[in-house]
Chains A and B, each alone.
Chain A
């Protein structure tokens, strides 16, 4: 078999997969420009009304809340994940590395539904936190954590942390340790080495990972659906409500499109900034 034929053999399945991705996006795109006909799954004529529709407070508030919750989650994720990623990359004990990898990565693999259910048990009125606090006499009536932005954010930070840890660990593992050793030899304290050498050198990774997590968090559905319980809504919940409960496919399509544009757009917008940071790091 020639090299050329090998290429053809391999490119065909890739093209088919790429085509499927394009088709799914094209379908969403196409439906968002069609008129909704109540009681019918078939959309009507071409229209721009759906885009005006999502400007109404009902939808617009949810879009703003989604951005806000995703931003909060990304920031808290960064703060909690960096130390773990750092420990994971830098520990000299193999068993500790294995333990850190398993404890931090496994939640990614148990799936969103298991993790959300687990958080319901932790945060619920009769859940773990309330039971423990009442038993200890700290509080007399259960705290309302479910159905609040705070509760949703806590569970979302947990939802997104494994990915954040993987991304940051990759960034930290690329740091040339000679810079850190040089700084330490010149008398810098470990904390100073960390803040003035390690963190600046991983800054491109930090910015990139935070934006990826921002986009990734917007993907969450089960967490805001069950922990938010209709009181805290994200775009994902609205798409589900409009698409699978009201069968208003055009509105669901516009909202899906907005989420797609924000997720891909935020990564595209930040890319030049990351490249500039990378060049600056390379010059040092």
Chain B
């Protein structure tokens, strides 16, 4: 009885979590311009429009560039940050840890607005550079955490043996530690890429018309038009992120990447 009630409750909560996605998928294939439930037929015309709309094409391309550089650079910095804070004791370590994790709790618009001011002050507020820099800072905590969890779980005897056999600290890192960290790095990179590609609030501040990313273009579209073109793009994003989440979970265990199990 109690068990039945518990799972009924869980089901209701999961319906709440999933219903927006289901409604989006339904609207995206509905031929009418105004929403209607149940749908009045089946059509892919909104998908065609989404693919041929020029602002979505350029913003998709911008998003790919920003995402690639931001998550790759963030992964390199993330490995460095995880290694340095886990393996060394030094003055200011706590401060460094705090500053690198801070973007998780600093409101997104504060970060975005801050980087807008920094970009304007230093004179590079019109290109990809400021967008990529902002995204690196925003996704860095996720990559660092993912690598950190891998680092904690490494069998240190492997490193010690290599070291005892005469390998320098540098080559121990490159040939023993780094390969063992690969799952954490790959998992972190994928999560960083997803978060960067879908990042909206901060991007709104640091992008210009020429560098706007897909979510920014979507926001501008939804303010001007009410047709379900956005439902088509949203559906594609929902399907691809669900698939990516599933694959990360299969390959690496999402619980580990997100550090739900910290030991």
Q: Which residues of A contact B (CB under 8 A)?
A: 1-3, 5-7, 9-11, 13-18, 20-25, 27-28, 31, 41, 80, 83-84, 87, 89, 98, 100-107, 109-115, 117-122, 124, 126-128, 131-132, 135, 158, 161, 166, 169-170, 173-174, 189-191, 212, 215-216, 218-222, 226, 235-236, 239-240, 243-244, 249, 252-253, 256-257, 259-260, 263-264, 267
Contacts and interface: CB of A to CB of B under 8 A. Distances in A.
A274 to B, nearest CB: 15
Given A101-B254, A109-B191, A190-B2, 10 more contacts: A14-B77, A16-B77, A20-B136, A24-B115, A27-B114, A83-B9, A128-B23, A218-B107, A221-B109, A239-B110
Contact of A169 (B14, B241, B260): B260
Contacts of B261: 170, 173
Given A114-B24, A135-B37, A240 B222 contact: no
Given A121-B24, A239-B113, A22 B258 contact: no
B238 interface: yes
A110 B105 contact: no
B135 to A, nearest CB: 11
Nearest to B101: A21
Contacts of B48: none
Interface stretch (B49-57, B167-175, B180-188): B167-175
A125 B246 CA distance: 34
B242 interface: yes
Interface in B99-130: 99-100, 102-103, 105-111, 113-118, 120-121
A73 B118 CA distance: 32
Contacts of B109: 219, 221, 235-236, 239-240, 256, 259
A223 to B, nearest CB: 10
Contacts of B205: 243-244
A260 B200 contact: no
B17 A114 contact: no
Interface size class of B (residues with CB under 8 A): 35 or more
Nearest to B37: A131
A13 B77 contact: yes
Contact of B100 (A21, A25, A236): A21
28 contacts: A11-B80, A16-B77, A17-B99, A17-B100, A18-B100, A20-B137, A21-B100, A25-B106, A28-B110, A28-B113, A103-B14, A104-B17, A109-B244, A112-B215, A113-B200, A113-B222, A117-B230, A121-B231, A128-B35, A173-B260, A189-B2, A216-B105, A219-B201, A221-B200, A236-B107, A240-B204, A243-B205, A264-B102
B100 A118 contact: no
A200 to B, nearest CB: 19
B237 A260 contact: no
B167 to A, nearest CB: 10
Interface in B225-246: 230-231, 234, 237-238, 241-242, 244-246
A109 B193 CA distance: 10
Scoring B17, B116, B171, B195 by chain A CB atoms within 10 A of each residue's CB, the highest score goes to: B17
A172 to B, nearest CB: 9
B21 A107 contact: yes
Contacts of A2: 168-170
A240 to B, nearest CB: 7
B200 A101 contact: no
B232 to A, nearest CB: 11
Contacts of B254: 101-102, 105
A10 B84 contact: yes
Contacts of B77: 13-14, 16-17
Contact of B80 (A13, A105, A169, A219): A13
A120 B234 CA distance: 13
Interface in B247-263: 249, 254-255, 258-262
A98 B242 CA distance: 12
Nearest to B115: A24
A210 to B, nearest CB: 14
B133 A128 contact: no
A1 B168 contact: yes
B4 interface: no
Scoring A16, A189, A259 by chain B CB atoms within 10 A of each residue's CB, the highest score goes to: A259
Contacts of B24: 114, 117-118, 121
A239 B111 CA distance: 12
A228 to B, nearest CB: 13
Contact of A107 (B17, B199, B255): B17
A283 B193 CA distance: 42
